[in-house]
Amino acid sequence: MKLKDRINDLVELGQWIQQDLYYNSEVISKAIADNPWFTRDSINQALKAVSLQYLSADCLSAWVSGEQITETTRQKIIGIVMAGNIPLVGIHDLLAVLITGHKALIKASDRDLALLESVVHRLYEMHDYWRDSIELTHKLSDLGAVIATGSDSTARYFEKYFSAYPHIIRKNRHGVGIVFKDDTGDQMKGLADDVLSYFGLGCRNISKLYLEKGVEIDSLFEHFESHGDTIHHNKYKNNYDYNYALFLLNKDEFYTNNFLLLKKHDHISSRIASVHYEYFDNTYDLKNKLNRQISQIQCIMSSRDIDGLNCFRFGYAQKPGLTDYADGVNTIEFLKSLDGNS
């Protein structure tokens, strides 16, 4: 299949996601049953982001043009190990493999299988080409390369197991947010989305806040109220209650608005239902600190540009574009290099 035809099919897939999968209660119910962290709202959010940010004609055309993607001279089998923390979390890797003309051999997470299966089967229905280019499997073999996503512990296993293949191995990373005293209410509502969408389980969700001296915690919490219903989700509430008790037991310094815990801590990674914070004096010192920890950071959210940092605007942590590559590793360049085209 020619590149332009692959693009056309992916655009049609995006339209199908908006018009059909979005309303398919059977598939969505199964996805929720497979992963209790999934909700109708979070699935809707993911489907909307995929269809608009990834699968529009403009986005795909700009991606192909910007990355100078051309016809592949030799298709290779690319193993993809997907995580299952948020709905359709591995679809960017799949799209990268398909747009470059390779075959995707997918080892999906059981926690996020229903939606992915529906997407793959829809492509099968469009053209027989996709049946030869996408396969869901429990075992990866005869590979040309591997893209695997997991925790820090599973990444060590992946690096050893897939050492014989060209590979991208992803570990735990987190989003961080930089809050200034003059940030507006609308910006802070975007910050709240970046913290609490998908219950904070995504690698792009903010788990650490850097607050300019003078920012008041109480005024910050005011802008989180739209997410108050989060506490009614059983698994989230269990984590909130456990961590609240743990912080009390340890006599930690923390704040709460009764559905989110804010704890003063140096670490970027935080527990579910909690966010770490610390204050900063100036952006120069903050920039140097973040650059020293950049291997732990997936994205930096801020209301303004900061020289030396790649910052995204509040409210867009979970709305990445096709060129917002995980861990800062350009997946297209990696795949093109397998064909000698990079």
pLDDT digits (tens, 9 = 90+) for 29-64: 999 999 999 999 999 999 999 999 999 999 999 999
Q: Is 164 exposed, middle or buried (0-12, 13-18, 19+ CB in 10 A)?
A: exposed
- The answer, yes or no, to whether residue 152 has pLDDT greater than 80, is yes
Integer Cα distance of 82 and 168 in angstroms: 12
| pLDDT value of residue 153 | 87
Q: Which domains does the chain have, with CATH numbers?
A: 3-171 (3.40.605.10), 174-312 (3.40.309.10)
Cβ atoms of residues 193 and 225 within 8 Å: no
| pLDDT value of residue 72 | 76
pTM over 0.85: yes
The runs of H, that is alpha helices, within 134-216 are 152-161, 185-196
Q: What is the mean pLDDT of the segment spanning 226-255?
A: 97
Output the DSSP codes for 195-206: HHGGGG-STTSE
Integer Cα distance of 299 and 88 in angstroms: 19
| pLDDT value of residue 342 | 45
The terminus-to-terminus CA distance of the chain in angstroms comes to 21
Please tell me whether residue 302 adopts helix, strand or coil conformation: strand
What are the distances in angstroms from CA 188 to CA 47, 113, 219, 289, 325?
Answer: 24, 34, 10, 23, 25
Q: Which residue has the higher pLDDT, 243 or 75?
A: 243
- The answer, yes or no, to whether residue 7 has pLDDT greater than 80, is yes
| pLDDT value of residue 341 | 52
> Pairing state of beta strands 261-264 and 254-256?
antiparallel
- What's the whole-number average pLDDT of the chain? 96
Q: Which residues of 213-296 form beta strands (DSSP E)?
A: 254-256, 261-264, 274-280
Q: What is the mean pLDDT of the segment spanning 306-332?
A: 96
Q: What is the mean pLDDT of the segment spanning 211-223?
A: 94
- Phi, psi of 147, deg, nearest 5: -125, 115
